[in-house]
Chains A and B, each alone.
Chain A
């Protein structure tokens, strides 16, 4: 009922507007077309100035309200991200000045040069000097922006520092899987046909010795404050994207083609909670590439901690190899029935594979 009512009201508004518009046209015709057009010309010219003033006020107001909610109000959480921020500030300055000047000129000219008996049209078809000026100046300014941009770009996409830790991150519909290389600092090989969602979500090849100390986790990735980290990014199904907005970085996760990204976290999560005054602050990994109907919920977390805390956490993690094959675990004494259960588990896993 309320819907019908709303529709009726809207229709009524339309009819009223339409009738007014029609009537105003008749009035214009009655009073003489010239006079009517002159009047509406004046009104529109005034509206140009009104729009300009209200528009600029609106820009200021919008900034006033929302600037604090953007990341520009916060410091970058990565060392490299500071460069992104400084580039954005420079670009804001350049484009902001051009924006304000050209918009003012546009609407002011529109107002100033409205049709008027005193205005004589100036026949001005071209002027080479002017045109050269406004070709060369933008080109020069752009060269500066390009120069700074490319220097940073090569830093971001270049080799990670040698001391960087390496973490592998793999996207799947709809979540992230992390892998740490363990003590040997190398990942074991993997092959996607080995993937078993229950026991081997990455398809690691267990015959590869290097895989035996690889730690596989989900939900939260642990990183160390002040230590560069290189992410090796992959995907299990469709294209995803590792969006690290607080670190000012992102990179696609493409099935079959590994990509990399490196940065240096500057603050622990705890520090960020204090700095932002938000006790729930989290470094969230957002999927930034459309990946299916659950795209919006594909969330990961990064916990940046101090080295000691990281070491403690890492010590508690059990390599995936040992999770799958507890009998190989030197720290666990094989009890008779646990061996049995493992054997039966391996069997079912094999059966599953055969079915696939």
Chain B
């Protein structure tokens, strides 16, 4: 591995910067509280986001194991379930109330707390200042608030699990009237109040973070770091932040109207309703569909808020570990941009069967399927990046390759569902579950794992255990396919999602055995994630120490900082950037860091 030698060389370059270090950045005294709790250091905030996200991933994953338990073994009773869940599993069977609460909380938590806060919260915070060459975010204080709003949102969500009427149970999309009427569903009582409060706090957190990311990327790039010299991670995180800032407020407005309908007798979403056991409600003239427009105006960009950071990190990791430039940098940025624009123009494809005006629906079909074009560009560019490279299979690289595989598999089924004339058959079946879990859930999770394995040495100055990483990867990718691939077949049989029990349905009960298989694999895959957790926390304290500044032989700026960078990142001056970040394998050199000036005899590309 010749790059290790060059790693040392790069280290020398970085140290060289230290020579003329005159500490502009004054080291203030840090207490435990300012360093680990109310920290304003972007790296510590990133770790706070990550670990809180991991907490939710475990809890959300555990919820899916529980409801998969019900789906896999619907007729058996397990007394230990009653031991842990109490009245939610009376007689050892999870009740429908509990089942729907688990499904709803699983969705909400995974989408927002894990794959938004845990993913872009972690890596935007960690990578933006390090890769653009800034000492910290534009506003470290707002950044800290962003985490703490997320923390409070987490506490409120967590508390909703313990209220007497149960947590919200109307699905993560929270469509009214179900979410507005406590009499229609017990979960829509106190549980829903807490759910909305938590989500509103989460929107605040997300906005504070997003504005900060945008401001930092636009204004705080180091000398020479033009926008076209940014690593693709930063481009992806930039578009992610823009999407969030423009769409989260719309979600909040939708929630505010919902709060009014729930508590103050307005009729934004309610009309012509007769609730069993209560009678006719006075509300008239509202539109339940209005909420869906407001929700999906965030909801669809949200999919890309989840996916884009993973795409950016995968682009970076694939290039670094193929020892080859990312293919088509400008096309990669262009396709990110196209995806970000189109993300705002496709929301109603979630609403093809709501009775939407067919002409409007047809426009959304066109725009939705157009997204396949930039997505295809990205896939082909990733494949070409691997072509004639020299691939190092680090655990990060494995997960990046896995991401591409999953993104292809899940993306292709989007072509089915985006076509309204097929969606009219497959909408809200397991086909949809398979589609979005693969393309958005598991793929983004893979992007997150790739990022964690790849930047772990920068985060903690230690490595994670490779063998555990390899096992984690192979079990997870095989398991993910075994869980979600057969679900396409259930969907093609029309099997609806969000059913507690299929045994009374002549059309869907043939899958009992398959459901058991899926549930069993889901449990194994969940257990494999514990391997990752053990590896993660063990390695923080006991992992192999990083000894070279640039262990992967990477071009980007974060590897010019000390092995354990302090607050301010570079002890001396921030290095100057002279080139784009993907000069791998150029002119026979294995890699040329961004800080290396362009030589006179260097070839142009």
Contacts and interface: CB of A to CB of B under 8 A. Distances in A.
Contacts of A21: 465, 467-468, 471, 535
A53 interface: no
A10 B527 contact: yes
Nearest to A289: B428
A158 B287 CA distance: 23
Contacts of B498: 290, 295-296
A147 B169 CA distance: 39
Interface in A208-267: 233, 236-239, 241, 243, 245-246, 248-252, 254-260
Interface residues of B, number: 134
Interface stretch (A118-126, A312-320, A337-345): A118-126
A198 to B, nearest CB: 12
B391 A110 contact: yes
Given A3-B80, A106-B386, A91 B380 contact: no
Given A107-B405, A150-B365, A157-B358, A281 B330 contact: no
Contact of B530 (A14, A58, A88): A14
B481 A58 contact: yes
B274 A296 contact: no
A253 to B, nearest CB: 9
A248 B425 contact: yes
A294 B100 CA distance: 10
Given A44-B393, A121-B388, A293 B401 contact: no
Given A51-B477, A66-B514, A113-B386, A296 B500 contact: yes
A213 B530 CA distance: 65
Interface in B510-534: 510-511, 514, 527, 530-531, 534
A295 B235 CA distance: 43
Contacts of B424: 84, 153, 156, 248-251
Contacts of B506: 278, 280-282, 284
A96 to B, nearest CB: 8
B38 interface: no
B494 A286 contact: yes
Interface stretch (B122-130, B191-199, B317-325): B317-325
A44 B386 contact: no
A138 B386 contact: no
A89 to B, nearest CB: 11
Chain A contact surface mostly = helix
A11 B274 CA distance: 53
Nearest to A281: B506
B369 A91 contact: no
A8 to B, nearest CB: 14
A122 to B, nearest CB: 4
Interface stretch (A97-105, A160-168, A180-188, A321-329): A97-105
Interface string A54-74: 010011001100110111100
Interface stretch (B56-64, B137-145, B217-225, B580-588): B580-588
B31 interface: no
B365 A245 contact: no
B166 to A, nearest CB: 10
B185 interface: yes
Contacts of A105: 383
B558 to A, nearest CB: 22
B94 to A, nearest CB: 12
Contact of A292 (B185, B415, B474): B185
Nearest to A109: B386
Interface stretch (B6-14, B152-160, B306-314, B370-378): B370-378
Contacts of A142: 369-370, 372-373, 415
Nearest to B427: A250
B388 A84 contact: no
A2 B364 CA distance: 54
B372 A249 contact: no
A275 interface: no
Interface stretch (B111-119, B239-247, B484-492): B484-492
Contacts of A245: 425, 429, 493-494, 507
B376 to A, nearest CB: 4
A130 B504 CA distance: 53
Contacts of B383: 102, 105-106, 109
A278 B507 CA distance: 10
12 contacts: A14-B534, A41-B391, A70-B489, A71-B493, A114-B393, A123-B605, A124-B388, A236-B273, A238-B181, A239-B177, A255-B177, A296-B498
Given A81-B425, A153-B421, A195-B280, 19 more contacts: A29-B544, A51-B477, A58-B482, A62-B485, A70-B489, A71-B492, A88-B422, A95-B413, A102-B408, A113-B389, A124-B324, A237-B181, A239-B175, A254-B355, A257-B287, A282-B506, A290-B178, A293-B96, A293-B100
> Which 5 A-B pairs rank lowest in CB-CB distance, beginning with the nearest?
A245-B494, A256-B271, A121-B585, A259-B355, A157-B358
Interface of B: 1, 4, 80, 96-97, 100, 169-171, 175-178, 181, 184-187, 270-276, 279-280, 284-289, 322-331, 353-355, 358, 361-362, 365-366, 369-370, 372-373, 376-377, 379-381, 383-384, 386-393, 398, 401, 404-405, 408-409, 412-413, 415-416, 419-422, 424-425, 427-429, 465-468, 470-471, 474, 477-478, 481-482, 485-486, 489, 492-494, 496, 498-502, 504-508, 510-511, 514, 527, 530-531, 534-535, 538, 544, 582, 584-587, 590, 605
Interface of A: 3, 10, 14, 17-18, 20-22, 24-25, 28-29, 34, 37-38, 40-41, 43-45, 47-48, 51, 55, 58-59, 62-63, 66-67, 69-72, 81, 83-84, 87-88, 91, 94-95, 98-99, 102-103, 105-107, 109-110, 113-116, 119-127, 130-131, 134-135, 138-139, 142, 145-146, 148-150, 152-154, 156-158, 172-173, 192-193, 195, 197, 203, 233, 236-239, 241, 243, 245-246, 248-252, 254-260, 278, 280-282, 284, 286-297, 299, 356
